[in-house]
Structure 1
Amino acid sequence: MNLGDQTINEFLSSLSAKQPTPGGGAVAGLLAALSSSLGQMVLAYTEGKKKYEKFEEENNISISLFKTSAQHAISLGNEDALVYSALNELWKLDKDDPKRIAEWDMALTDAIEVPLRVLELCDVVANTIQSLVGKTNTMLSSDLVIAGILAEAGARCALQNVEINVNLLENEKKKKEYQTRANMHVDCCVRSCSSIESSCKI
């Protein structure tokens, strides 16, 4: 079932079941979507406030970004379930099975690239949230901090899925490239979140 079409209870039920998907990849995507939506809420409460008029154009750009990123995050959560299911089916086959030999490399690449895109999205979202500090309703500063924490959590979750699949690669150069990209985005998220928290302290 599409992640975006499920009720919270339906998602929790399917997440807790003994089945390959949804799993951590869907959770990472959902965290990115929650972060985006909470950031959008902060902007909704800022919109129309005279105190923040000079930031209106910039904030409108952020609203648009959050809307898009929330939808994209859900799509990536769904895609993660699909690519993991494909890899999981190949995993069950013997290593010398023709189907596994023919499809393994592409399936493994997909299982790395999708969570990596979630990670990259979390970085963009966290950076956008950081840019809102001082430009949004201070009554919602705690929500801004929580939005940042959610983005960082999504990135850290996605990193786990990247790393576990990267370790299956035989090409050491590709391993290093993927790991470097992933670590860079996580580090950026951590710095953004730390900055948001320290800046929003009363």
Structure 2
Amino acid sequence: APGGGSTAALCGALSASLSSMVSNLTFGKKEYENVQKDVKELAVKAQSLKDEFLRDVDLDTMAFNKLMEAYRLPKKTEEQKEKRAQAVEKALKEATLVPFGVLEKSIEALDMAREIALKGNKNSLSDAGVAGLTAQAAAEGAYYNIKINLPNLQDNEFKSKIKKQAASLKKKAVKLGDELRGIIEKELK
């Protein structure tokens, strides 16, 4: 079963897929002539982003498995303890960087959902809204997975940098999500 990190990435893929779908439902429609170039580009970008998120589903699982392998290394001798500590640190960094990438991409997904909510086919506005909700779930889920790994890291410089950047990205995701929710709810009255 997928863990939280893989599920967060999958939410991102769902978001990008929905933004692409709304773009495609807008493309070629007379009443949206003035945004044809934008929605065509958005559809392509969203498909590419979806593919990146789907790769992250597997990358997160692999990172988790490497971390579990590192924790299972023997620790009877001092040499084994040192080797294990290095392996755990390396695996923890990887298990932190994968969701960090998902968090970054979630901002892109939120931007796309917002753009398609403003420019896309109004009959698909609820789909644009769900694209935003799933992007926000991806961002929050990725953030949780970053946060759970930080206390166990020994590299304080890495830890501090990631913690600060992740908090900033999460704040941005919440702001974008709130903006998008406002757009959707205003239009759906």
Which of residues 109, 113, 132 is equivalent to 1:148? 132
Please state whether the residue corresponding to 1:132 is helix, strand or coil.
helix
- Residues 30-49 of structure 1: pairs in structure 2 closer than 5 A: 30-49=10-29
Answer whether contact 1:26 1:78 (CA < 8 A) is retained. Answer: yes
Once the two structures are aligned, what percentage of the paired residues are identical? 28
With over 3 angstroms needed to count, the CA separation of the structure-2 counterparts of 1:99 and 1:173, relative to structure 1, is: closer
**Larger displacement relative to structure 2 (46-55 or 30-39):** 46-55
Please name the residue that 1:196 is paired with.
Answer: 180
Paired residue total: 182
- Residues 1-202 of structure 1: pairs in structure 2 closer than 5 A: 15=1, 22-95=2-75, 96=78, 97=80, 98-201=82-185, 202=189
TM-score (ref. length: structure 2):
0.90
Q: Aligned Cα RMSD in Å? A: 1.5
Please state whether the residue corresponding to 1:133 is helix, strand or coil.
helix
* 1:166 positional shift: 1.2
Higher RCO (C-alpha 8 Å, min separation 6): 2
Alignment-mate amino acid for residue 40 of structure 1:
S
Alignment-mate amino acid for residue 193 of structure 1:
G
Q: Comparing both structures, which one devotes a greater share of its residues to helix?
A: 2
* 1:93 positional shift: 3.0
Q: Distance in 2 between matches of 1:103 and 1:172?
A: 17
Structure 2: runs of 5 or more not aligned: none
Alignment-mate amino acid for residue 124 of structure 2:
L
* 1:132 positional shift: 2.2
* 1:82 positional shift: 0.5
Answer whether contact 2:9 2:57 (CA < 8 A) is retained. Answer: yes
Answer whether contact 1:31 1:153 (CA < 8 A) is retained. Answer: yes
TM-score (ref. length: structure 1):
0.84
Answer whether contact 1:152 1:186 (CA < 8 A) is retained. Answer: no
* 1:140 positional shift: 1.1
